[in-house]
Structure 1
Amino acid sequence: MYEKDDPRSALATAARPDSGDAIAAPQYFDLREHPVVRAQNVILVHTDAHAGDDLDNGTLEGELAVIVTDASPAFTVLTADGATKVTEPGLVVVPPGASRISVHGDGPLVRLVEATEPAWRDRVANADAYAQDAPRVSLLRRWPEPVGGQRVRVYPLSEVPDDPKRFGRIFRTRSFMVNFLPLQDGPRDPRKLSPHSHDDFEQLSLAVQGEYVHHIRTPWLTDSTAWREDEHVRIGSPSVTIIPPPTVHTSAASAPGVNQLIDIFSPPRVDFSEKPGWVLNADDYPMP
């Protein structure tokens, strides 16, 4: 449920009968302890980078995305086509093939790759959770090729200020959708939360600053032995919480200073994509 002034209140959600499949448990990771984790379709790699580091992305079959925050260092993406320097927060999309990142300062970098990538799939900390495909999660089918062909693309946040008519600042690739949510100064008002659920996709909530409480409720199915107590998990940053469908969930900033959350989806969300103006690089990455 959303407040009437929440942009998500206008989303159309299709009702469908429940599949009866078991509902996966939420997963919570401190990224300093577990820097490489996965969901069904995406692997998230967190690196505390330092000046002079040379990060090998491997030779990838799909695109790679780099999430750059205020705390991230400047870096250069090196591909067969040349070098691209990145100096400010935003999203960077790197084409398939071999690539490296040359780091020019100290700070965190977050990389996203497809979960099937041979260079990364055996490094994840939570492989057992996906020993079999999650039955409630739609498997990734890449969206269409980007307009103008594959190349390094940089989307700085400075070019797209926050707009209350739009939900966050959303970018998509062929395989991922990344939503930079507005900074939250201090704790979220507990009277204005937004519990909701998703039918067939996971949500990765990446905390890059501050602290959050993730409230997650697992719906009751016919098998009462699989019922779970509601969860109210407090977790700092950097962390990622993997929220499975169709759990009811909402997250509340809880630290007294600045809190920042970035939501990640794979494949890209159709409902967000259908809202005019919400996906900021839609001209580059068309819908199916």
Structure 2
Amino acid sequence: MSTQATAPTAARHHATPPQIETGGERTWITRGANFVVAVSDVRAGTRLARAEQADEYMVFLVDVGARFEAGAERLDARAETLTIVPPGASAITALGDGRIVRVFSGQATDLLERAGNASVYANGAPEVAPLVPWPAPPEGFRLRHYVLSEHTRPDTNMRIFRCTNLMLNVMTPRMVARDVHKLSPHSHADFEQGSLAVRGDWVHHLRHPWTADLDDWKADEHLEMGSPSLLVVPPKVIHTSRNTNDGGAWLVDIFAPPRLDFASKPGKVANEAEYPLPGAAT
């Protein structure tokens, strides 16, 4: 009997039509087991609204400013920032032309259904641990805003942020092609990794584990992908990514729920003081 796990998704937005196209918006939607990513190229004045969002979501403004509305809150944000949006009704209005990335949990079921890779999850993803929300912030849900440059450190290319249901690592851009002798192959036991390229040219290397069923064995994959694009790596698949271009390549890693191994290391998560860990005393 086959024990084949969920297949990787290689969504090349740069080479495929978007799932949503209007006068001012082109949006590509791709899902994982517990998350869904909406990458939108927008014109000034475009409004991206959620009438009723069940939980928090994250917004990465790649190269354009935007106005956020959530309940009674208003926030004007510039490019290269990350904002956590609270549950309930919210809207994002583009203040120029550019790219906006929104990351939701699997509770955004309307987006899951529209995902270009929805068929991959037609039978679920039993190898992925379910999303159990982490504790709510003691000060309550609200807009939380971070200027990425203020969280850059000389000893790492990671800039990790989390909320109750998501974790994003908005890495610093790579200005030269990655050294092929200094890659970082690794795997995850029971969660997916989303690797979202917003700039540059990338090769994602994948090695699939062997199972007891020879029919499930797969050759190594070396996926060439431009930007924007999203790779969703299943659990247990060994993976590493490298940019092949100089001049700026930008990758964002996505996890749902947040990674406890990262979150439990003091100083690893930039906004760790705002959200309790699971099991923390309240």
Could you tell me the TM-score, scaled by structure 1's length?
Answer: 0.89
- Contact kept in structure 2, 1:59 and 1:119, CA below 8 Å: no
Q: Are 1:157 and 2:141 matched, yes or no?
A: no
Q: Are 1:55 and 2:48 matched, yes or no?
A: yes
Deviation at 1:117, TM superposition (A): 1.9
Moved more, 180-189 or 228-237: 180-189
Residue type of the alignment partner of 2:159: R
Partners of 1:56 and 1:24 lie apart in 2 by: 31
Aligned match for 1:134, one of 125, 140, 144: 125
Q: Are 1:125 and 2:107 matched, yes or no?
A: no
Residue matched to 1:8: none
Closer, same or farther: CA 131–116 of 1 in aligned 2, 3 Å = farther
Partners of 1:155 and 1:54 lie apart in 2 by: 21
Residue matched to 2:241: 251
- Contact kept in structure 1, 2:54 and 2:87, CA below 8 Å: yes
Residue matched to 1:179: 169
Q: Are 1:39 and 2:32 matched, yes or no?
A: yes
Deviation at 1:31, TM superposition (A): 2.4
Partners of 1:43 and 1:86 lie apart in 2 by: 23
Moved more, 171-180 or 85-94: 85-94
Residue matched to 2:12: 30
Deviation at 1:167, TM superposition (A): 5.5
Deviation at 1:274, TM superposition (A): 1.5
Residue type of the alignment partner of 1:29: A
- Contact kept in structure 2, 1:30 and 1:238, CA below 8 Å: yes
Moved more, 80-89 or 106-115: 80-89
Closer, same or farther: CA 212–229 of 1 in aligned 2, 3 Å = same
Residue matched to 1:90: 81
- Contact kept in structure 1, 2:33 and 2:125, CA below 8 Å: yes
Residue matched to 1:204: 194
Percent of counterpart pairs with the same letter? Answer: 39
- Contact kept in structure 2, 1:21 and 1:135, CA below 8 Å: no
Partners of 1:209 and 1:116 lie apart in 2 by: 28
Provide the aligned C-alpha RMSD in A: 1.5
Partners of 2:129 and 2:5 lie apart in 1 by: 14
Aligned match for 1:269, one of 255, 259, 266: 259
Aligned match for 1:102, one of 93, 107, 110: 93
Structure 2 unpaired stretches of 5+: 19-27
Residue matched to 1:168: 158
Partners of 2:235 and 2:110 lie apart in 1 by: 28
Aligned length: 266
Partners of 1:116 and 1:161 lie apart in 2 by: 31
Deviation at 1:275, TM superposition (A): 1.4
| Off by >3 Å, runs of 4+ in structure 1 | none
Deviations 1:14-50 (A, max 9, x none): xxxxxx9533221111224340010000110010011
Partners of 1:24 and 1:257 lie apart in 2 by: 35
Residue matched to 2:139: 148
Deviation at 1:126, TM superposition (A): 1.2
